[in-house]
């Protein structure tokens, strides 16, 4: 099979590895650009979720170069938000556009259903033994863990890099190397070397660094092409970042613990969010509120990201002013869709970081006095 899948942050590094090891030819969608967004927006319903439009544009870019792709693998979902409709909507639109030949494999949340999970995996297995499948999953997972470790370090060191763009260059090189790694040893070696290189580009902290947490909807939080590369922008403004959703954390909670039907998943966030939002509203809405409460003392400010019309994050946004007031932590909510301009986002980020820096200096003066 010739397979593609939605592009989301560094997910392709692990997923490509697994699918290739299972015997498939894999087409990784190109990086998300303005063109991708416009292409998706042109063919999707106007009120569809922004991530759906990006996925659609991304698939169309793949088909433009590789019309012989015959399978799409993507995640499914269950309510209460619209994620569960992505598959049907995208399938209908692509069929109308002439790509009705494509087979879709939708990985639904396991919810303790072993049969369903094995069936999905079985549809992707091209005659490999159980041992080979396990080895493929292990290597893919190790790559994702390594990329998360590297990315967390990038989020920290970018604020201190001696040469602007150095951390991003090292990161991009690591992505390419990791994509080509074919053993666990190689993955570990690339991770070690990359982390060392990142440490070597740091200058001493001048005391003016601010710490910013990023919370919000998973797609715009994890995909730089969807959030107009705001992590890079914040780093260049001298902000260390703590992003609350990383690929492997999400996978552990939503695949592994979901499969085990372990009720304690996300328990801390739920507890923390309870006074403001005491039930699940879909997506990451409750987690956005809970994370803001939990991180309020550890960061100088919180950037809350959401796609336009995202129901769970609209609910979260409505209680954020109260959380911000109660915990004395500034929160900046940024909304993304195909009309969002980078210049406007950068201006708001500059003003926000400036505010955080002033507050920090003021607090420092107070504690000295």
Q: Which positions lie near ligand SF4, rule CB under 6 A?
A: 49, 51, 81-83, 217, 282-283, 307, 310-312
Residue 350 sits at φ, ψ, to 5 deg, of -60, -45
For residue 47, give Cα distances in angstroms to 43, 107, 227, 296: 12, 25, 18, 33
Work out how close the CB of 83 gets to ligand SF4 at its nearest, in angstroms, rounded to a whole number.
Answer: 4
Work out how close the CB of 67 gets to ligand SF4 at its nearest, in angstroms, rounded to a whole number.
Answer: 28
Minimum CB distance to ligand SF4 smaller for 137 or for 311: 311
Residue 202 sits at φ, ψ, to 5 deg, of -90, 140
Work out how close the CB of 102 gets to ligand SF4 at its nearest, in angstroms, rounded to a whole number.
Answer: 21
Work out how close the CB of 97 gets to ligand SF4 at its nearest, in angstroms, rounded to a whole number.
Answer: 22
Minimum CB distance to ligand SF4 smaller for 49 or for 170: 49
Task: Please answer whether residues 300 and 360 qualify as being in contact, where contact means their C-beta atoms are separated by less than 8 angstroms.
Answer: yes
Minimum CB distance to ligand SF4 smaller for 161 or for 223: 223
Cα dihedral sign, 23-219-96-87: positive
Q: What angle do CA 53, 54, 57 make, to 5 degrees?
A: 85
Task: Please answer whether residues 35 and 11 qualify as being in contact, where contact means their C-beta atoms are separated by less than 8 angstroms.
Answer: no
Residue 230: which of 310, 158, 312 has the closest Cα?
158
Work out how close the CB of 292 gets to ligand SF4 at its nearest, in angstroms, rounded to a whole number.
Answer: 17
Quote the CA–CA distance of 265 and 253 in Å, as a whole number.
6
Minimum CB distance to ligand SF4 smaller for 140 or for 225: 225
Quote the CA–CA distance of 77 and 148 in Å, as a whole number.
23
Residue 304: which of 280, 329, 327, 279 has the closest Cα?
329
Work out how close the CB of 94 gets to ligand SF4 at its nearest, in angstroms, rounded to a whole number.
Answer: 18
Minimum CB distance to ligand SF4 smaller for 50 or for 236: 50
The token pair at 81 is: 């938000």
Work out how close the CB of 86 gets to ligand SF4 at its nearest, in angstroms, rounded to a whole number.
Answer: 7
Task: Please answer whether residues 301 and 360 qualify as being in contact, where contact means their C-beta atoms are separated by less than 8 angstroms.
Answer: no
Minimum CB distance to ligand SF4 smaller for 148 or for 217: 217
Residue 205 sits at φ, ψ, to 5 deg, of -65, 125
Work out how close the CB of 314 gets to ligand SF4 at its nearest, in angstroms, rounded to a whole number.
Answer: 9
Minimum CB distance to ligand SF4 smaller for 107 or for 310: 310
Minimum CB distance to ligand SF4 smaller for 21 or for 284: 284
């Amino acid at each position: 099979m010739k397979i593609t899948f939605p592009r989301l942050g560094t997910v392709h590094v692990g997923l490509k590895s697994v699918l290739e090891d299972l015997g498939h030819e894999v087409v990784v969608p190109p990086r998300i650009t303005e063109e991708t967004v416009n292409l998706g927006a042109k063919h999707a319903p106007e009120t569809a979720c922004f991530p759906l439009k990006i996925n659609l544009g991304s698939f169309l870019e793949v088909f433009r170069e590789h019309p012989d792709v015959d399978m799409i693998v993507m995640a499914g979902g269950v309510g209460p938000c619209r994620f569960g409709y992505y598959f049907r909507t995208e399938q209908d639109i692509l069929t109308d556009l002439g790509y009705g030949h494509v087979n879709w494999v939708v990985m639904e949340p396991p919810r303790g259903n072993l049969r369903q999970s094995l069936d999905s995996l079985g549809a992707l297995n091209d005659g490999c033994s159980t041992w080979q499948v396990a080895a493929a999953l292990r290597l893919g997972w190790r790559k994702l863990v390594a990329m998360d470790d590297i990315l967390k370090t990038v989020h920290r060191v970018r604020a201190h890099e001696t040469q602007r763009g150095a951390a991003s260059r090292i990161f991009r090189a690591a992505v390419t190397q990791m994509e080509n790694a074919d053993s666990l040893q190689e993955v570990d070696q690339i991770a070690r070397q990359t982390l060392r290189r990142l440490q070597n580009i740091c200058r001493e902290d001048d005391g003016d660094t601010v710490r910013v947490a990023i919370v919000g909807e998973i797609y715009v939080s994890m995909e730089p092409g969807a959030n107009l590369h705001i992590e890079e922008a914040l780093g260049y403004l001298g902000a260390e970042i703590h992003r609350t959703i990383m690929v492997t954390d999400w996978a552990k909670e939503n695949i592994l613990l979901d499969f085990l039907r372990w009720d304690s998943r996300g328990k801390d966030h739920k507890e923390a969010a309870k006074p403001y939002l005491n039930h699940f509203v879909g997506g990451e809405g409750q987690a956005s509120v809970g994370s803001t409460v939990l991180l309020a003392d550890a960061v100088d400010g919180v950037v809350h990201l959401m796609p336009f019309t995202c129901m769970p994050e609209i609910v979260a946004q409505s209680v954020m002013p109260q959380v911000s007031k109660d915990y004395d932590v500034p929160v900046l909510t940024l909304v993304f869709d195909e009309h969002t301009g980078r210049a406007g986002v950068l201006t708001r980020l500059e003003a926000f970081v400036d505010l955080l820096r002033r507050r920090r200096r003021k607090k420092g003066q107070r504690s000295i006095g």
